[in-house]
Structure 1
Amino acid sequence: MHTDHLDMNLLRLFEAVYRLGSVSLAAEALGLSQPATSQGLTRLRLALGDALFVRANGRMRPTLRAERLAAVVQPAMTAIQDVLKTEDRFDPSRSRMTLRMHMNDIGEARLLPEFMAALHCDAPGIRVHTAPLPHGEIVDALETGSIHFALGFLPSITGTEKIELLSDRYAVVVRAGHPMTSASKRKATLQDLRRLEYVAVRTHSETLRILQQLDLDGRLVLSSAHFLALPAIIARTDLAVVMPEAIARRFVDAKSYALLPTDLPRSRFTVSLHWSRRFESDPAHKWMRDLFVRLFVGQQR
């Protein structure tokens, strides 16, 4: 029995003859000529050493060997067809998937409001789980599928597929009515900035880099583990915080905060969407990528 190099198309032919009980009907269903179908069935008979079908009462009746083979081949063919059909489409309105993403707290504040609003309209059954991962674990998490995407300013992440979503810059935020905002409308100088005291979040390395580069890290009086408490602290003190301008402007709109006009070094950054090439063709994955692009690409401050 020589089955090591068996043509899988012969099993498709076998399944069609078994299901339809006719060589001619199988040929029609597979788009083959009847001679080609007969030749293929002969090849399969020789390979398996069994007649497989015998003619009786106008139909091709399976042998016992064919019955056992059909019990394996038919479910396999059905499963393959189901997978291929499923992979060809994605219906967001009916999906119940859980979308898992690397995102820090500032990224959540910047991206999730618009993203969740869009999901609520187009894919209300999709659940979202975000968590910040150590940067050294992100690539492996993307490759294994434990997360679908990583979003943020991630210059240390290499070897992934990515697209730039939006650009922003860091700004200095103080409370409304802060003495430095009322003193003058001119841009704050480095000397002005060195008179301020600062709060920062330890996990946001770019904020700390800017403070260090300006020799302001000695003016850091609060190093917090989380961003959430900082707005309330700023509103009640003369402390300042360096943070992305797009988020800062939302606080300014609340009339409790003010942006100090100043130029910070290397303050512009780009937020990118990262993913693994393994999932490039997955329809659900592609739909999510397209949604991020539609919502955010080209947004700049």
Structure 2
Amino acid sequence: MDISGLDLNLLRVFDAVFRHGSVSRAALEVGLSQPAASQAVTRLRQLLGDPLFERMHGGVRPTPRAERLARAVRTALATLEVALAEAHTFDPLQASQCFRMHLSDIGEARFLPPLMQALREKAPNVKLETLPMPMAEIADALDRGSLDIAIGFLPGVTGTKQQVLLSDHYAVLLRQAHPVLKGLKSKRLCPEHLQGLDYVAVRSHSETLRILRTLELQNQIRLSAAHFMAVPSIVRQSDLAVIMPAEIADTFEQMGGYAVLQADLPESAFDVSLHWSWRFEREPANQWLRALVSEVFQLHPSTKSKEGRP
């Protein structure tokens, strides 16, 4: 097709419909009526010669062509937004832009609440969108501007600017009434205790799987879960154990009903770092966001040492 005949607003509507799976919710986001958003999708369908979206109960789903197109459209829009929004100064009280960041599901649960509170106080109209990505794609996304920052233990992300936010280690989370705790004189598990436990493994967190395999405990995995969010509830209602970052496990122990135990786990220590692209090193909005993240982490520091001692 001839790109000269393409209206950029059609791509904005397409991106919103793809993300929301709904024309009506997309219309609200881009500030159009539902009929106008539907008309925009129809125009793009005609230009591309593809239905793009198929009706289903509760919304729409993308066609294979739309799936392939979506990432390129989002990257292009994000790059353009960065270029157009660039300014010599950044006023957080007046800003209304959307920052995009990589953060794992476990990171979202732990770090988004204080970060969103800080945004509410310092930049009430700024929006935040998390875009979890495979580690191999993060550096390129930062360079393209489709991600503003990335936070996490990301040893495979190279060629970026980075700052260590906190040092942590892995520990074992159990329910407070777990049988293994009976007669335990300290909050440390010996190798025999580790061998006697059954585990939940979370496939999206490769380091915990690595630890279990190194300890030759893979046969003790009773549940392999895709994501982390349901795991604490499962642990609390069963005798399963989960290996997870001690700093985050500690927040569950403070809620009650859980116990965090230390153990001699292989290569247990790690750093959580803030990553950004050297291309946006001096961009005022990016500088402000990095400073805010650093401030939030300083206000909520890790209380665990790298050696795995409370």
Instruction: Tell me the TM-score normalized by structure 1.
Output: 0.69
Question: Does the Cα contact within 8 Å between 1:181 and 1:260 map onto a contact in 2?
Answer: no
- Supply the distance in 2 between the matched residues of 1:280 and 1:96 (Cα, whole angstroms): 21
Deviation at 1:230, TM superposition (A): 0.7
Deviation at 1:110, TM superposition (A): 2.3
- Could you report, residue by residue, the CA deviation over 1:193-249 in whole angstroms, capped at 9, with x for unpaired residues? 010000011010111111111111111111101111111111111100001111111
1:107 aligns with 2:107: yes
Question: Does the Cα contact within 8 Å between 1:92 and 1:123 map onto a contact in 2?
Answer: yes
1:232 aligns with 2:242: no
Deviation at 1:251, TM superposition (A): 1.2
What residue is the counterpart of 1:174 in the other structure? 174
Deviation at 1:282, TM superposition (A): 0.7
Deviation at 1:155, TM superposition (A): 0.4
Give the AA of the match of 2:103: M
Give the AA of the match of 1:294: E
| SS at structure 2 position matched to 1:87 | coil
What residue is the counterpart of 1:280 in the other structure? 281
Q: Of the candidates 294, 298, 301, which is equivalent to residue 299 of structure 1? A: 301
What residue is the counterpart of 1:126 in the other structure? 126
Number of equivalenced pairs: 218
Alignment map for 1:1-301 (pairs within 5 Å): 87-186=87-186, 187-297=188-298, 299-300=301-302, 301=304
- Supply the distance in 1 between the matched residues of 2:184 and 2:166 (Cα, whole angstroms): 32
Give the AA of the match of 2:295: R
Question: Does the Cα contact within 8 Å between 2:199 and 2:223 map onto a contact in 1?
Answer: yes
- Supply the distance in 2 between the matched residues of 1:132 and 1:178 (Cα, whole angstroms): 33
Give the AA of the match of 1:249: D
With 95-104 and 247-256 compared, the bigger mean Cα shift is at: 247-256
Question: Does the Cα contact within 8 Å between 2:106 and 2:229 map onto a contact in 1?
Answer: no
Deviation at 1:261, TM superposition (A): 3.4
- Supply the distance in 2 between the matched residues of 1:266 and 1:88 (Cα, whole angstroms): 44
| SS at structure 2 position matched to 1:227 | coil
With 135-144 and 257-266 compared, the bigger mean Cα shift is at: 257-266
| SS at structure 2 position matched to 1:261 | strand
Deviation at 1:92, TM superposition (A): 0.2
Give the AA of the match of 1:252: E
Question: Does the Cα contact within 8 Å between 1:279 and 1:285 map onto a contact in 2?
Answer: yes
Give the AA of the match of 2:98: T
- Supply the distance in 2 between the matched residues of 1:294 and 1:260 (Cα, whole angstroms): 29
Give the AA of the match of 1:159: G
Question: Does the Cα contact within 8 Å between 2:151 and 2:272 map onto a contact in 1?
Answer: yes
- Supply the distance in 1 between the matched residues of 2:200 and 2:217 (Cα, whole angstroms): 11
| SS at structure 1 position matched to 2:239 | coil
| SS at structure 2 position matched to 1:200 | strand
What residue is the counterpart of 1:13 in the other structure? none
Question: Does the Cα contact within 8 Å between 2:169 and 2:246 map onto a contact in 1?
Answer: yes
- Supply the distance in 2 between the matched residues of 1:247 and 1:139 (Cα, whole angstroms): 25
- Supply the distance in 2 between the matched residues of 1:228 and 1:107 (Cα, whole angstroms): 10
Once superposed, what is the RMSD of the aligned Cα atoms? 1.7
- Supply the distance in 1 between the matched residues of 2:110 and 2:265 (Cα, whole angstroms): 21
Larger gyration radius, structure 1 or structure 2: 1
Deviation at 1:263, TM superposition (A): 2.5
Question: Does the Cα contact within 8 Å between 1:171 and 1:243 map onto a contact in 2?
Answer: yes
- Supply the distance in 2 between the matched residues of 1:136 and 1:247 (Cα, whole angstroms): 25
Give the AA of the match of 1:193: L
Question: Does the Cα contact within 8 Å between 1:167 and 1:299 map onto a contact in 2?
Answer: no
Identity of aligned residues (%): 48
Give the AA of the match of 1:140: D
Deviation at 1:182, TM superposition (A): 2.0
Give the AA of the match of 1:116: M
- Supply the distance in 1 between the matched residues of 2:208 and 2:282 (Cα, whole angstroms): 37
- Supply the distance in 1 between the matched residues of 2:216 and 2:92 (Cα, whole angstroms): 50
- Supply the distance in 1 between the matched residues of 2:287 and 2:88 (Cα, whole angstroms): 12
* Unaligned 5+ runs, structure 1: 1-82
Instruction: Tell me the TM-score normalized by structure 2.
Output: 0.67
